[in-house]
Structures are given as structure tokens and as C-alpha cells.
Amino acid sequence: MILLWSQIILEEVHMGYSKAQKEKTHKRIVAIASKRFREKGLAGFGIAELMKEAGLTVGGFYKHFDSRDDLVAEAVSSAFGVWQRQKEAAESGGQPLSFAKLIDDYMSDAHRKNPGTGCAFSALAPEIARSDKRTRALTSEQVRKDLELLIGLLPGEDKRAARSRAILTFSALVGAMALARAISDEALSREILNTVGDLLKNPASEHSRE
């Protein structure tokens, strides 16, 4: 808290009030875009609509971003890292994040119904695949980080096996959530999330929920 206050004061001393204000506005625009992109897709809304939600008008946008693609890169990037944040929150709460807890939260109904605050990969991967090189480079880095995080939650295995299992886990989580959201059948949607979650937590047995 003390650190936080000193940061704000430093910003004001070094940057002046309006620059700090601009940065706050910039972050607000990115936060809104980051949520709305996950909810509506990378082409799901226009700049005017975004700026209106931020309490601004369309003309101000280009003092913050050189182009719409700039916003996409920054907002997608800011959508990344949900596992890292979950891990830090769990640790500061005294209960370190477990592999099973990560899986259960990912496969939860709350996550399925709220893409705007959830994993950017299950919400956007195919659209990121069609984005510019810069966004895809940022995505490479994030996949690498998330794999390391998953490997860290899989102790007691040799490094190579843990990496393989992390890659399978990551892929299955993203695919299961993308499929579960794409279908209208509630029962099948829940079956996919529960089945994949159980098998990922207990890969030895193929028999789950009995």
C-alpha cells in the first residue's frame, strides 16, 4: 500500500498530472477493449463504441494508439496472464494454487459464461491466428509462460513428462472451453468440461466420476 502511494507520487512528480491522467485513461481504454474483444471478438465493435464506453469520443483514440491493430495487440496482451494472476492471488491468500484448482476453475460454469474476464486463448485463438505478426509474437511468449506455470504445478515428474503433460493440459483446456461455448446443448457442454477436467486431473485412469 505504501509502495503504491509512493508510485503514484513519483509518477506525478516526474510526469506531471496530465501525463498520469493520460496513462490512466489509456489503461481504461485497454481494459475495456480487452474485455469486449474476449466477449465479442476482435471485429466485434468499433472505435466509437469503445471510446463511448470509456466516457470519451472517437477523435481522442489516435492520441493513444497509432491504429486499431495497435489496440488489438495491447488489449489481447493485457487479456493474457489469468493463470499468473490466479496463482498470485492464491499465494497471497496463503493457499498456493494447485493443478486441480486451476483445472476446476477453468472448467467452471462461471468461466464458460464469462469469456470477457476469462482465458484469452479459448475466446480468441483463431482470430489471433489471423492477426498481425506482432500480436502472434506476443502470443508465442504467453504460451511459453503459461506452459512454465503449468509445469510448476506438476511436481514429482521428470521434466520432459511434465512438459508433455502441460502441453496436453493447455490444449485440452482451450479446446474443451471453445467447444463447450460453441454448442447450444447445455448437457453436452457441461459433459465436455467435466470429462476433460477429470481426465486431465487423473490421466492414469480413463474412468472418471464414478
Contact segment (CB under 8 A) with its own copies among 12-20, 24-32, 89-97, 129-137 equals 129-137
Contact segment (CB under 7 A) with DNA among 45-53, 76-84, 178-186, 193-201 equals 45-53
Residue 185's SS3 state is coil
Find how far residue 52's CA is from the centre of its chain.
24
Any contact of residue 47 with DNA (CB under 7 A)? yes
Cα distances from 106 to residues 24, 115, 208, in angstroms, run 30, 11, 18
The rounded distance, in Å, linking the Cα atoms of 143 and 94 is: 27
Question: Which one of DNA, its own copies, none interacts with residue 167, CB within 5 to 8 A by kind?
Answer: its own copies
- Terminal CA-to-CA distance of the chain, rounded, Å? 48
For the bound state, the minimum distance from the C-beta of residue 116 to DNA, rounded and expressed in Å, comes to 18
The rounded distance, in Å, linking the Cα atoms of 97 and 89 is: 9
Contact segment (CB under 8 A) with its own copies among 54-62, 66-74, 94-102, 183-191 equals 183-191
State which residue, 28 or 165, has the beta carbon closest to its own copies: 165
Contact segment (CB under 7 A) with DNA among 41-49, 79-87, 106-114, 124-132 equals 41-49
Q: What angle do CA 190, 191, 193 make, to 5 degrees?
A: 65
Any contact of residue 131 with DNA (CB under 7 A)? no
| Residues in 44-103 that interact with its own copies by CB under 8 A | 44
State which residue, 59 or 96, has the beta carbon closest to DNA: 59
Residues that bind its own copies (rule: CB under 8 A) add up to a total of 56
Cα distances from 110 to residues 80, 115, 119, 198, in angstroms, run 18, 9, 12, 18
For the bound state, the minimum distance from the C-beta of residue 192 to DNA, rounded and expressed in Å, comes to 31
DSSP 82-148: HHHHHHHHHHHTTSPPPHHHHHHHHTSHHHHH-GGGS-HHHHHHHHHHTS-HHHHHHHHHHHHHHHH
The rounded distance, in Å, linking the Cα atoms of 148 and 161 is: 13
Site residues, DNA (CB under 7 A):
15-22, 25, 45-49, 51, 55-64, 67-69
Site residues, its own copies (CB under 8 A):
40-41, 43-44, 115, 121-130, 133, 136-137, 139-140, 143-144, 157, 160-161, 163-165, 167-168, 170-176, 178-179, 181-185, 188, 191-192, 195-196, 198-200, 203, 206-208
